[in-house]
């Protein structure tokens, strides 16, 4: 009888395949730790938030515009304006699959998936939120056969809206995963190839180079809605993709801080910047949300500081969870209003979820 009780454990051990985890380091890397809940090794933001933000909209922050058509006030909308593409053909194809998920086809012909979350939050948190009438989104259909044509996946941080274990299982172990430090423990043991990285380290992907760069954010995985565990046990950040003498920047979830000027100093300029513009407003949490998320005006200032040749915003939309937003498209209304108010010179390309653009 005792052997029968051990049988499930034996079968589990026989079927699991250890993951291959590579820890990438560099002499230029930056990392800082803090104490949290008795731990000595929790990650922390090296670059602190500014004492004062460059600009903050106070009145008429969501002006009406003919460029966005909505079913109700700033809800269930579609951008109908014209995007003016830059004259230079870089060789990128960029598809936005909602919230923070992008498919990037590089000039050197790699297909990179950024922060892929195909459905809702992972179970059981999704069920908990449904029961509590919490976060839920409309889902964006993925292109046919996308899963079988991805070369690499990159993640910015461990939060449920950026990292989905169910999506990882669907993508499988045939692709290469590049993650912040501390991610591997969240993957199933099934032969996944994972490279964990610290800020300002880099890795090669065929003919492209991937740089992991700082963001001003935090990290945790909740057990049940609103109750978090493993605070800051994994790192967070953004990514720079270099391919055929071009640079694409994905900021990840981040507040505005001096990490922007540090990235600008190291990379000089970017051909394309994928910038977050949502989750900065909350009636009860107040200013804390802006500490870890950019307002649209913060994103515009950051894009100018980074010398972005093109800015593509994300985080708003019909497939967003509206975490810290007035409505599905309030951030986009604010972005277009602030673009005029600040007389920004950074060209904007606005996508609706599921759309793609060649640059």
User: Would you give the DSSP letter of residue 190?
Assistant: B
Neighbour order of strands in the sheet with 208-213: 201-205, 208-213, 238-243, 246-250, 272-276, 311-314
Q: Is residue 140 part of a domain?
A: yes
CATH number, residue 292: 3.60.15.10
Specify if 26 maps to a domain.
Answer: no
pLDDT at 289: 84
Query: Would residue 44 count as lying in a domain?
Result: no
Domain membership flag for residue 249: yes
Whether 50 maps to a domain, the answer reads no
pLDDT digit string (tens) for 174-230?
999 999 999 998 899 999 999 999 999 999 999 999 999 999 998 887 765 555 567
Cα separation, 136 vs 292, whole angstroms: 21
pTM for the structure as a whole = 0.91
pLDDT digits (tens, 9 = 90+) for 266-278: 999 999 999 999 9
Rounded Cα–Cα distance for residues 256 and 313 (Å): 15
Establish if 2 belongs to a structural domain: no
Question: What is the count of structural domains for the chain?
Answer: 1
Q: Is residue 106 situated within a structural domain?
A: yes
Nearest to 174 by CA among 140, 148, 201: 148
Measuring CA to CA, which residue among 173, 144, 100 is closest to residue 321? 100
Domain that holds residue 190: 63-358
The pLDDT score that the predictor gives to residue 9 is: 45
Q: Is residue 22 part of a domain?
A: no
Provide φ and ψ at 114, rounded to 5°. Answer: -105, 130
């Amino acid at each position: 009888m005792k052997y029968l009780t051990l049988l499930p454990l034996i079968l589990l051990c026989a079927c699991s395949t250890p993951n291959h985890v590579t820890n990438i380091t560099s002499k230029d890397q930056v990392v800082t730790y803090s104490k949290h809940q008795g731990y000595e090794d929790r990650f922390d933001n090296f670059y602190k938030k500014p004492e004062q933000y460059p600009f903050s909209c106070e009145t008429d922050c969501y002006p009406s515009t003919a460029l966005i058509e909505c079913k109700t006030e700033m809800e269930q909308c579609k951008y109908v304006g014209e995007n003016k593409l830059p004259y230079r053909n870089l060789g990128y194809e960029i598809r936005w699959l909602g919230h923070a998920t992008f498919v990037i086809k590089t000039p050197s012909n790699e297909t990179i998936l950024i922060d892929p979350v195909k459905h809702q939050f992972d179970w059981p948190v999704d069920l908990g939120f449904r029961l509590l009438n919490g976060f839920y989104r409309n889902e964006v259909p993925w292109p046919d056969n996308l899963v079988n044509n991805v070369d690499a996946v990159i993640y910015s941080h461990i939060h449920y809206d950026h990292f989905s274990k169910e999506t990882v299982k669907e993508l499988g172990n045939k692709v290469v995963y590049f993650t912040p430090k501390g991610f591997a423990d969240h993957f199933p043991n099934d032969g996944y190839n994972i490279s964990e990285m610290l800020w300002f380290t880099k890795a090669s992907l065929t003919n492209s180079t991937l740089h992991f760069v700082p963001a001003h954010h935090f990290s945790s995985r909740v057990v049940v809605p609103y109750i978090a565990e493993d605070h800051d046990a994994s790192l967070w950040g953004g990514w720079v993709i270099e391919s055929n003498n071009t640079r694409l920047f994905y900021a990840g979830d981040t507040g505005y801080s001096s990490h922007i000027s540090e990235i600008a100093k190291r990379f000089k300029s970017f051909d394309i910047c994928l910038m977050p513009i949502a989750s900065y407003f909350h009636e009860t949490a107040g200013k804390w949300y802006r500490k870890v998320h950019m307002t649209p005006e913060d994103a515009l200032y950051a894009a100018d500081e980074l010398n972005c040749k093109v800015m593509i915003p994300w985080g708003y939309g019909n497939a967003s969870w509206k975490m810290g937003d007035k409505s599905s498209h309030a951030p986009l209304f604010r972005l277009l209003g602030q673009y005029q108010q600040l007389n920004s010179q950074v060209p904007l390309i606005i996508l609706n979820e599921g759309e793609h653009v060649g640059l």
